[in-house]
Amino acid sequence: MQNTVNSILRFRGTGLHSGRSISMEIRPASANFGIWFRRRDILIGDAMIPARWDMAEQSPLCTRIVNHAGVSVSTIEHVMAALAGCGVHNALIEIDGPEVPILDGSSAEFVRAILAGGLQSIHAPLHVFEVLRPIEVVRGDARASLVPSKRFHIDFEIDFDDAAIGVQRKALTLSNGTFVRELCDSRTFCRKADVESMHAQGLALGGTLENAVVVDGASVLNPGGLRHTDEAVRHKMLDAVGDLALAGAPIMGAYTGIRAGHATTNALLRALFTTPGAVRLIECAPEMLAHLPGRGVHASEIPAVA
């Protein structure tokens, strides 16, 4: 069956790139509603934006969706990952600004609120996207692919010059509570050398050592250090979960990302849904349930470091 949140969940925080104070609510929604955002600060015109792959703009630093009236909301990947990782299929997200609050830079606070409030089952069948043939996109030295699999699996590799990150690779099957246990607390990160450049572009204006990991060569500048020795690649996997959630239904397939970012993963979804015979929407059979994210997950599985 499909799920939605059991009650209204409220958040307040700063936008990572805008630096603005933002208020946001995740509200229950009916069957087959999907995930939508509504800009409460937009009083004239269409304020509703579907969280869908074809609404996403190509952006290297965050995921931004825009409706046909030009109304947008950005940095949605962490809350989208939390919803997907907890098995939430329908929700209305009301927000009073152009960017989802960054909170601690991970999905942990969203996950904690979702699991504390609980889910309600909706008496409507859940559908999943079954990948039928391999799809790959390559953009410079970044690549991403999806291949058929009976499980939702992610294999990710990153390579940074800074020794504090270096080359990292991790592979996980995102069934049951794996997202909550392994990925939800891993924070966004950046290189100190890139901070001034981002500020000059009007980006990362709300970034602090409280909501992002900053590295400088072999050093991690955050007073508390890393939550995981491979926190960087875990966060890239978290981002991929959120970006793939723009498919509009759970994906049964294996994703591989090599130096991939938001734009590469979105390009992969566009290729998947525009390539004849690459994917089909099927009703979720009982034997599939154990292989979906969020099945039987509990708040006690959130890592203690978050």
Catalytic status, residue 262:
yes
Q: How far apart are CA 176 and CA 6, in angstroms?
A: 19
* Contact of 297 with 115, CB cutoff 8 Å: yes
Task: Give, in degrees to the nearest 5, the angle at Cα 259 between 179 and 172.
Answer: 25
Distance CA 270, CA 279 (A): 12
Q: Which of 114, 67, 115 is nearest to 91 (CA)?
A: 114
Catalytic annotation, pick one of 153, 262, 291, 298: 262
Residue 248 makes CB contacts below 8 A (sequence gap 6+) with: 34, 51, 52, 53, 129
Token look-up 């590295």 returns 215
Active site residues: 262
